[in-house]
Structure 1
Amino acid sequence: MRRRPRSRLLLIAAAVPFIIATGTSTTSTSYDYDVFVIGGGSGGLACAKEAARLGARVGLCDFVRPSPHGTTWGIGGTCVNVGCIPKKLMHRAAQLRQILEDDAPTYGYQLDGLDGFATDGVEHDWPTLVGAVQQHVKSLNFGYRTALSDAGVTYVNARGTLAGGHNVHLAPSSPKQPARTVSARHIVLAVGGRPRVPASLARAAEGGGRVITSDDLFSLKVPPGRTLVIGGGYVALECAGFLASLGFDVTVLLRSVPLRGFDRECAERVLASVEAADPNLAASAISGVARAGLEPQAVPTAVFTPSEYACVGLSEEEARTALGDANLEVYLAEATPLEHAPVDGRSGQRLFVKLLCDKAREERLVGVHVVGEGASEIVPGYALALRLGVTKAQLDSTIGIHPTCGEELTTMRVTRRSGESLAKKGC
């Protein structure tokens, strides 16, 4: 059996960051900057560099208020520091454990502590993982600061607040530096978002307490041990998935529907992969924990759970509402990726693909969904396909690379209405 660390931790999943922009239309040239950006995340950095490329005088300030647990980080925003980057690296660490325990013996590797196909023989060192993740994050922080300098953008490590008119008050991160005010013709707010700790748990989150958010998890110096994850969104399930796969005792507390806003059939498969990693799932309503839905966007989205899920366009539920049952054709496919075939399914890695097509428009693609290893590498290109109005016939005429998971999307024949089996024969 896997060793279960005995410490206890409560993890509250993060919200999705947001970007808001504002500005003025004056033509005065008496300002310190043409454009001043408050916020050094993905949106703020892109805006600042593009404005500078177009010839504007640009300044940018960035400041991270410490979390209740005391965590802070460098420039780059949520994605780089406490979101996509560290999350996917920890997801990769969890995948490696599965490969060592489930796949390696089948491919002839004799590892100490592993007996045939027995699991739980691989020990994992949490501080080493966190150290590697944070080293990479810090290299990205440095790269962003260098990129701003190369673009001619003035960077200030200070907390910026609107000070009326065209002014921004800058409170530096160091108390030894004086505060000051700068002016700009245009002011861009790109401050992002942060997880909110319910008032009932706030005291337990302060000063390194046992209540943390996803802002704290990726730099946590000690192993999290037994962890209760509150929430059923993608951040919660991703964290629960990699923690459980790394051998920690995890319980997920769901208020309602997991992965709300995603395709339900795919969401259930994702949830099954999280359950296979061995966390406990419980349903409850917790006072002070907000219900947050995540609506699909016109851009590809990925969920890095033990079985990855990536999608673009409409969910099947949305497509049925928009098109009606008669005009919606749902193509389905299921297969075992070749690299997992010798393991005979013990790794639990299966590929599931769903294409949603509008029959009234020559089976034009309106939604693409992939669940399985590497899904996030397959789906992004289909965002362009949806924008260009690609049809199922055009996809069928495309030659895929054999043998790959991406090939499955070019050979799909079984529809939901046909009732045929998804079992694949041959390669």
Structure 2
Amino acid sequence: MAFDYDLFVIGAGSGGLAASKRAAAYGAKVAIAEADLVGGTCVIRGCVPKKLMVYASQFSHLYHDAEGYGWSAVKPEFDWAKLVQTINQEVLRLSSLHISFLEKNHVELIPSFAKFLDAHTLEVGDRKVTAERILIAVGGEAIKPDLVGIEHAVTSREMFHLPQFPKRFAVIGGGYIGVEFAGIMNGLGAKVTQIIRDTHILRGFDLDIRNSIQTGMTNHGIHFHTGIDAPSLQITKGEDGLTIAFLDGDRNPQSLTVDTVLAATGRKPNLDKLNLEVVGVEIVKGAIAVKPDSSTSQPHIYAVGDCTDRINLTPVAIAEGRAFADTVFGHTPRLMSHRGVASAVFSQPEAATVGLTESEALAQYGDSVKVYRSQFRPMFHSLTGADEKTLMKLVVVGEEERLLGIHMVGKDAAEIIQGMAIVLNMGGKKKDLDATIGIHPSAAEEFVTMR
């Protein structure tokens, strides 16, 4: 059977773009369908615009910190509309750049939604196309919890386009998205409250990391309601704003009124409109089930990125997409390893981590686990008077003290842990760090001088 395309990619996000360009470079005839801006969640409404907002929010602290270094006090003014406009311009620039990359690589872009008609046929807008192989790379989307009045809340999708800056801001949820936006809005001048079910934010991260970030956020003025009874929470809209009512951990009624509520309680794979049931692609717990080579239950249909719910990070989706293209079209079989993937939370204070948490290491290796931990005031704040702390932590195992986990909270944590991830993934040991001469004075040198 003759097909219109060797490869058809559904979704022009990080994974789909990476796979399509590499497959085309191997000589495949490739098309990619995208009904939204090209670039996916990361470029349009995720890591890129959010990191720009993080940068914007940090200037408020720098104005105050400068006074400790002899600069005179200033009264800065912040323009929310200007920030939103400039970030949107950058998003559009990046989206256009990705389109140009597709053109240079001879990948056909079809600006429409695609859904399956049969195993090799797709409906794309008003067209029907066939493909020998199909890659699903549709990512995920924010979801709202089933709570009374939740229709009044926004998700991360809307945060980049709020028409007015909310002076009173509440976050429901303790995951990394909620934590990052809490820090952003606090830094930009809002009164921020974060409401979570657990006692600590960032479930799944190392407990020392969770404690350190939450303490830092509290010191920055963010107020936490922890251990709440989630089903009791409800939102009502009134003349003065949105009122959130709930029961706290002691079953006492609480309420607060804000201008904007962010529902940051999770995301799900964006599969609803793909018509996957007609081709028998297996779905497990709402995500596409894939083998290590990213193939699905249908051998010619593959899936990468957040829609598979493996590790939902942009670099992971890119690596999965490239590994797929190398294997299928480059005839160089390889698998993308999901072990030892570093990640960061652009909270304030910032955090980054790679490898096992302390509790995970203890569960796997028991008493042979040892922990090195250091907490100190960063040199920058020796003159500012700010109550800031940097935390660094090594989790090792056995007499050889092989590195299992490396964790940090503090300025430039992501930049530092990126390099430390190489050490961990090479099977490095504590003695390898000890034998390395540090750069002085720097925070990073603490990892090679820790005792």
Q: TM-score, normalised by structure 1?
A: 0.78
Q: Which residue does the alignment assign to 1:107? A: 69
Say if 2:78 is the partner of 1:37.
Answer: no
C-alpha separation in 1, matches of 2:353 and 2:409: 9
Say if 2:338 is the partner of 1:311.
Answer: no
Tell me how large the CA RMSD over aligned residues is. Answer: 2.1
Judge conservation of contact 1:273–1:305 (CA < 8 Å) in 2.
no
Q: Which residue does the alignment assign to 1:132? A: 86
Equivalent residue letter for 1:212: V
C-alpha separation in 2, matches of 1:290 and 1:336: 31
Say if 2:203 is the partner of 1:165.
Answer: no
- How far off is 1:276 after superposition? 2.1
Q: Which residue does the alignment assign to 1:180? A: 127
Equivalent residue letter for 1:261: G
- How far off is 1:335 after superposition? 2.5
C-alpha separation in 1, matches of 2:142 and 2:20: 25
Say if 2:265 is the partner of 1:321.
Answer: no
1:280 alignment partner, one of 223, 226, 245? 223
1:330 alignment partner, one of 357, 371, 391? 371
Say if 2:414 is the partner of 1:376.
Answer: yes
Name stretches of at least 5 consecutive residues in structure 1 with no aligned partner. Answer: 1-27, 65-73, 114-121, 172-178, 414-427
C-alpha separation in 1, matches of 2:201 and 2:60: 25
Q: Secondary structure at the match of 1:49?
A: helix
CA displacement, residues 5-59 of structure 1 (integer Å, 9 cap, x when unaligned): xxxxxxxxxxxxxxxxxxxxxxx5x111101100111111111111111111111
1:399 alignment partner, one of 416, 427, 437? 437
Using the aligned pairs only, state the percent identity. Answer: 38
1:354 alignment partner, one of 393, 405, 419? 393
Q: Which residue does the alignment assign to 1:221? A: 163
Equivalent residue letter for 2:129: V
2:104 alignment partner, one of 150, 172, 180? 150
C-alpha separation in 2, matches of 1:63 and 1:351: 43
CA displacement, residues 77-110 of structure 1 (integer Å, 9 cap, x when unaligned): 1111111111111111121110112x11112222
Judge conservation of contact 2:213–2:350 (CA < 8 Å) in 1.
yes
Judge conservation of contact 2:172–2:196 (CA < 8 Å) in 1.
yes
- How far off is 1:180 after superposition? 0.6
C-alpha separation in 1, matches of 2:118 and 2:310: 35
- How far off is 1:201 after superposition? 5.6
Judge conservation of contact 1:349–1:373 (CA < 8 Å) in 2.
no
Judge conservation of contact 2:7–2:131 (CA < 8 Å) in 1.
yes
- How far off is 1:168 after superposition? 1.2
C-alpha separation in 1, matches of 2:208 and 2:420: 20
Q: Given the superposition, is the C-alpha separation of residues 295 and 314 from structure 1 closer, same or farther in structure 2, using an over 3 Å criterion? A: farther
- How far off is 1:279 after superposition? 2.4
- How far off is 1:199 after superposition? 4.7
Q: TM-score, normalised by structure 2?
A: 0.74
Judge conservation of contact 2:155–2:264 (CA < 8 Å) in 1.
no
Q: Which residue does the alignment assign to 1:80? A: 43
Q: How many residue pairs align between the two structures?
A: 351
Say if 2:191 is the partner of 1:249.
Answer: yes
C-alpha separation in 2, matches of 1:339 and 1:99: 11
Structure 1 range deviating more: 229-238 or 190-199: 190-199
Q: Given the superposition, is the C-alpha separation of residues 111 and 399 from structure 1 closer, same or farther in structure 2, using an over 3 Å criterion? A: same
Judge conservation of contact 1:201–1:211 (CA < 8 Å) in 2.
no
C-alpha separation in 1, matches of 2:436 and 2:101: 39
Judge conservation of contact 1:79–1:85 (CA < 8 Å) in 2.
yes
